[in-house]
Amino acid sequence: MTEPTDTETTVRALLNAAGMTTLTDEQVQIFVRAYPTLRTAADRLYAVPEVRYEQPAVIFSAR
Amino acid sequence: MELPVTIKDAAVGLRSHAFTSTELTGALLEKAHALNPTLGAVITFIEDGALSAAAQADADFASGTDHGPLQGIPLAVKDIIATADAPTTANGLVLDPAWGAGYDATVIEKLRAAGAVIAAKLVLNEFAIGQPDPDKPFPMPQNPWDLPRSASGSSSGTGIAVSAGLVLGGLGTDTGGSTRGPSSFNGITGLKQTFGRVSKWGCVPLGYSLDHINPMARTAYDCALMLQVMAGYDPKDPTTVDVPVPDYAAALTGDVKGLKIGVPTSYFLDGPDLDPETKASVLAAIDVLKGAGAQVTEITIPHLAEAKDANQIIMFSEAAAYHRPDLGSMFDTYGKFTSQSLARGILWSGADYVQAQRFRSYFKKVIQGVFEQHDLLITPTSPSPAPLRADMSPEKNLTARSFTGIWNLTGLPALALPTGLSSGSLPLSMQIVGKPFDEATVLRAGDAYQRLTAHHMNIPPIAASMAV
C-alpha cells in the first residue's frame, strides 16, 4: 500500500495522462479532495486476505 | 374514465372493453403533459408513435390477435435506451445524436412485438451517473411525494412516471442501484434481474459488467409481466446467458410457506445513517412473510463494505474507459456532477480494477455459500427515505453506504418494493434478493407480500388529485 506524498501532484498527473488537461484549479481540487477516499477504497480490497490468490472475474475465452 | 394503476388491471380492462388502448394511452399522455412541468419526468413525448401503436393494439384485439398482457399498455423508457422513433440523449449534450438513431434496443423490439405502447423517453441522471444539473437544458426530476426531495437515480424519470401514474410501467437501468433507488424513493416496485437475463444491446453503457435494463412498475406481478417479454438470450449481447425463460406470472402462487429467508443484520440493519422508520418497516415486512409461513434467520455476511467499494471501482473504471475521449475534449459539456463522478475512474489503476474483480470472484463464493442455506435475503433498499435534494452532493455519495451495488457485483436478482410510508409521508422500501436466474422465487415473495399488504397502491397526492 502506497501513501502519496503529494496528492495534488498525483491527481494532476493522472488527469493529464487521461487527457483532462483543461480543468480549472477548482475542478482539480474536487478530485484532490476525493482521492484519499478513492485510494482507501482500493487499498481495502488488497487487504482482504481471502482474495490473495483469487482469479479475477474477467477471464477471456478465445472460443 | 377511471385510469387503471397496474398493467394487470389495464390488461383486464382492455379485454373487457372497459376502454380501448387508444383511450388509455390518450388519457395517460394528457395526464403526463399536465404533470410533467411540475414533476420533470419526461424528456421526449412519443405522441404519434404511441397513438399509432395503441390503434394497432386495438385493431389486433378486434381481429382476435392477442400478443399477451402487454398489448396496448403504455410504457416509457429511460432515455439511455435506443428507440427508433425518438432520439436518445442520455440526458445530456455529449452523446452523439447519431448513436441510437433509427433503431430499437433489443428490449424495445421485444416490447413492441408484444404490443406494448412506447409513449415517452424519460429523464435520468446524465449517462446514468451523478446528480441532476440545473444548469443543463433538461427537466429537473422532482419526487412526486415531496417535490424538493430526491427522486433518486439514475432512473429518476421512470420512478416518477410510474409512481405518479403517467405510464403503467417503464424501463430503468441499474449498475449500482439505479432502478432500485428510484423504486424506493418513489414508492414503486423495480426489479434488477440476474446479470445476463435481459439483453443490454442498444443501451449506452455505464459499467459493462454491472449494467442491467430493468422493469419498473407498481407491482411485482407487473414486473413479472414485463420481464417475461424482456428476458432471453440475445446473440447481439455477449453478456446474455442462454437459460430458459420460465413463466414468471405462473410462479406467483402467493405461497411462501417454507421459504428460507436470511436477514443480514450487520451493515444492512445497523449504522448511524439507517433511518429508524426504514428499519422498522422492513422488519415489519419480514414479519408479514414470516406470518405467511416463511422461515426467517438472522445471518452475517463478511466484507460488505468492501463489496460496495469493489462495485464502485469496477463501475467507475469501466465508465471512465468509455468516456475518456469525451472527458478530455468536452469536460464542461457534461453536467458538472456527471463529470465529477465519471472521472473518478481515471484515478484508480488497472491493477486496482483487476483487484476489484478478484474480490468479486471471492465474494461471489461467499454469497453462493449463503444461498446454500437460504432461498432469499431481505434488506432495506436504501438507508433512509428520500432526502432533500439540497442536502445531496457527489462528495456525500462517495462515502455513503450502498445496499444495492453489492447485488450488481454478484449479479443476483434483487427486487425493491414499498413497505409503507414514513411519518413524513415518504415511501419506505425493502429489497428481496435471490439466487441466480431465480427471479421466479424473488417475484413470488414480492407478490405474496403485496397480496397481504397495500403499500404498493399508495399514490402520491399530487397525482391522485388529478382527474382525467
Enter the ipTM. Answer: 0.92
Q: Which three cell numbers stand for residue B426?
A: 415518504
Cell numbers for A11, please give them: 491527481
Nearest to B343 among A20, A45, A55 (CB): A20
Asked if A22 and B331 come within 8 Å (Cβ–Cβ), the reply is: yes
The set of long-range contacts for B363-366, using a CB threshold of 8 Å and a minimum separation of 24, is B363/B303, B363/B306, B363/B307, B363/B310, B363/B409, B363/B410, B364/A57, B364/B410, B364/B411, B366/B301, B366/B302, B366/B303
Q: What is the pLDDT of residues B140-197, one digit of tens each?
A: 999 999 999 999 999 999 999 999 999 999 999 999 999 999 999 999 999 999 999 9
Q: What pLDDT is attached to residue A5?
A: 56
Q: Which of residues 20-49 of A touch B (CB under 8 A)?
A: 20-23, 27, 30-31, 33-35, 37-39, 41-42, 44-46, 48
What pairs with residue B298 in β-bridges?
A: B263
pLDDT band at A4 (very low <50, low <70, confident <90, very high): very low
Whole-structure pTM over 0.95, yes or no?
A: yes
B239–A contact, CB cutoff 8 A: no
CB atoms under 10 Å from CB of B32, counted, come to 23
Alpha carbon distance B354, A54 (integer Å) = 11
Q: Which of B43-47, B130-134, B315-319, B458-462 has the lowest mean pLDDT?
A: B130-134
Contact B324 A18 (CB under 8 A): yes
Domains of chain B: 7-464 (3.90.1300.10)
Helix (H) / strand (E) element for B57: namely helix B47-62
CB contact residues (below 8 A), chain B span 330-349, against chain A: 331, 340, 343-344, 346-349
Percent residues over pLDDT 70 in chain B: 99
Of the pLDDT bands very low, low, confident and very high (cuts 50, 70, 90), residue B48 is: very high
Q: How far is B22 from chain A (nearest CA, A)?
A: 48
Rounded-to-5 percentages of helix, strand, coil across chain B: 40, 15, 45
